[in-house]
Amino acid sequence: MGSHSAAQAGETAVSAPGKVLLAGGYLVLDRDYTGLVFGLDARIHVVVQPVKTIEGVALREITVKSPQFTDATWEYGYSLSELGGGIKVTQLRASASLALQRNIFIETTLSYVLTYISTISRSAIPASSITILADNDYYSHPSSTITHDQRQAAPTPRSRFHTFHVPVHEAHKTGLGSSAALVTALTAALLAHYLPPRRFRLADQDPASSRRRLHNLAQAAHCAAQGKVGSGFDVAAAVYGSCLYRRFSAGLLAGLPEPGAQGFARRLAALVDEEEEEEEPRGGGDGVAWDGVVERDRVRIPRGVRLVMADVDCGSQTPGMVKKVLGWREGNAAEARRLWGLLQARNEALAEELVRLAAEDAGGAGAYDGLRRIIAGVRELIREMSAKTGVPIEPKSQTALLDACAAVPGVIDGLVPGAGGYDAIALLVEDREEVLEGLREFLKGWEGGASEEEGGKIGKVSMLGVREDMEGVRAEDPAEYKEWLT
């Protein structure tokens, strides 16, 4: 594969951040509104290693491992389809006695990215081995899963990544955007591994075009894996970091054929590279320009303030909630327009106040009073949306928890982020160790009551180790992961 750079000769490591949609849940589904998204320093890490083969033997296999979980190995074969259908990826059975456990996010991402790579290089794509690691805060890990010896052991490099002792599908996610971070990190790692730096690179001086192509390709793969076109704010945060985000037109992906179908490779490359096609126009009538908007300069965290998240051991069924809210909106257009407009204004005010505080380096008594008022105003409208739609976006038990947290010294205020419900809460706090310790102690003793009419109860609440991360996807040193690589 001589046309590629020497990058494939070594190992390639990439990480991408999780996310929290601090403000703009439900609004971000509509292009008329925006979402205030923070990247999180909990990251998904992907390491790609070349597979050594006997001279003259060309393997067409990729093995993917997630060693923190049991039985988390997937093997794939890949081949070039006819009629421009791109690279067809087929999961292989490691043993005749084992049932195939599909991972649709990995499988779809491989299909999309290898197809895109095949449109740039006509050489065969060599085999590789891929390792995926997740920072601990992506999953709840009850102390019962950690042995006495593990607790007593001195910290080791491995302690950054817990072993969860369960299959991936049984692990309890904390809602930090693991699928978007996985798809983004895997896409970036494959592009960086197989393409020469002049075509793709992740570095401080990387051309904007590299990151934009990565964004477009990861969005397309993530939407396909989900089986629907989402708003894409989670992928945008994984690529760019914290930002104010306006979604792309849903019709943008409408004309893209299925992988393996005639013309898939050409259509995908035109979509990713935002090039006009010489033949027929794509579906949706939107051309090929991605019309989403990512504004990084409109999001800041003031010095002396940090974002904290608390994992609420309960969880919501987000798709059902979204469907119900959108159903109410359709039947109450004028009322919804009023409510959405007010929320948009208050969400923008929240972003502006954070930027103002960061620019003025404000601190001291009363410095955050304006911020508190704005967050209180946002929460008031979210509770109104909850009442009108009948969806527990900020349930009463979450209201009680947020109000109680806000009374802890040094806590500014917080929100139920994203689609709301009984997932993790997000808090803005003064970045001092005594504040964090006080909040930890308070949460240890918190007991959430049941709310029968809302059908949910908050279980144990614990502080996650995450904070905001302004940086998006980045290259890493493969040596950092040696203990996990085989």
Dihedral of the CA atoms 404, 407, 409, 413 (nearest 10)?
90
Rounded Cα distance, 426 and 449, in Å: 19
Rounded Cα distance, 315 and 284, in Å: 36
Three-state SS at 22? strand
Dihedral of the CA atoms 278, 283, 284, 286 (nearest 10)?
-10
Q: How are the residues of the chain apportioned to helix, strand and coil, as percentages rounded to the nearest 5?
A: 40, 20, 40
Q: Residues, the chain, total?
A: 486
Task: Answer for the pair 8, 1: CB distance below 8 angstroms, yes or no.
Answer: yes
User: Would you say residue 132 has pLDDT above 90?
Assistant: yes
Placement of tokens 């060599």 in the chain: 126
Return the pLDDT at 281. 40
Rounded Cα distance, 468 and 449, in Å: 29
Dihedral sign computed on CA atoms, order 369, 375, 379, 385? positive
The CB density around residue 204, as the number of other CB atoms within 10 Å, is: 6
Return the pLDDT at 275. 78
Return the pLDDT at 458. 63
Q: Residue ranges per domain, the chain? A: 6-295+476-484, 300-469
* Single pTM value for the model: 0.90
Overall average pLDDT of the 133-161 stretch: 59
Instruction: Decide: residue 6, CB within 10 A, 0-12 exposed, 13-18 middle, 19+ buried.
Output: exposed
Task: Answer for the pair 439, 463: CB distance below 8 angstroms, yes or no.
Answer: yes
Taking phi over 0 as left and psi of -120 to 50 as alpha, with beta for the rest, 56 belongs to left
- What pLDDT digit, counting tens, does each position of 162-208 carry? 998 898 888 888 788 899 999 999 999 999 999 998 899 987 656 67
List the beta bridge partners of residue 37: 21, 243
Q: Please state, for a pLDDT cut of 70, what percent of the chain lies above it.
A: 84
Question: How much is the mean pLDDT over the chain?
Answer: 87
Task: Answer for the pair 228, 318: CB distance below 8 angstroms, yes or no.
Answer: no
Overall average pLDDT of the 400-411 stretch: 96
Pick the CATH number of 6-295+476-484 from 1.10.1040.10, 3.30.230.10, 3.20.20.70, 3.40.1350.10: 3.30.230.10
Return the pLDDT at 97. 62
* Reported CATH class of domain 300-469: alpha beta
User: Would you say residue 286 has pLDDT above 90?
Assistant: no
Return the pLDDT at 123. 83
Three-state SS at 144? helix
The type of residue at 107 is E
List the beta bridge partners of residue 46: 14, 132
Rounded Cα distance, 299 and 355, in Å: 6
b/e code 474-486 from CB counts within 10 Å (16+ = b): bbbebeebeebbe
Return the pLDDT at 438. 97
Three-state SS at 344? helix
Return the pLDDT at 95. 64
User: Would you say residue 284 has pLDDT above 50?
Assistant: no
Q: What is the DSSP string of 43-107?
A: EEEEEEEEPP--TT----EEEEE-TTSTT-EEEEEEEEPSTT--EEEEEEPS-TTSPP---HHHH
Three-state SS at 147? coil
Return the pLDDT at 149. 42
Tokens of 49: 């290693």
Which of 2-11, 155-164, 224-233, 445-454 shows the highest mean pLDDT? 224-233
Residues 6+ apart with CB under 8 A from 371: 350, 353, 354, 357, 412, 413, 428
Task: Answer for the pair 161, 136: CB distance below 8 angstroms, yes or no.
Answer: yes
197 phi and psi angles, rounded to 5 deg: -55, -30
Q: Please state, for a pLDDT cut of 90, what percent of the chain lies above it.
A: 69
Residues 6+ apart with CB under 8 A from 453: none
Return the pLDDT at 143. 43
User: Would you say residue 87 has pLDDT above 60?
Assistant: yes
Tokens of 302: 């003031």
- What pLDDT digit, counting tens, does each position of 209-265 carry? 999 999 999 999 999 999 988 899 999 999 999 999 999 998 999 889 999 999 999
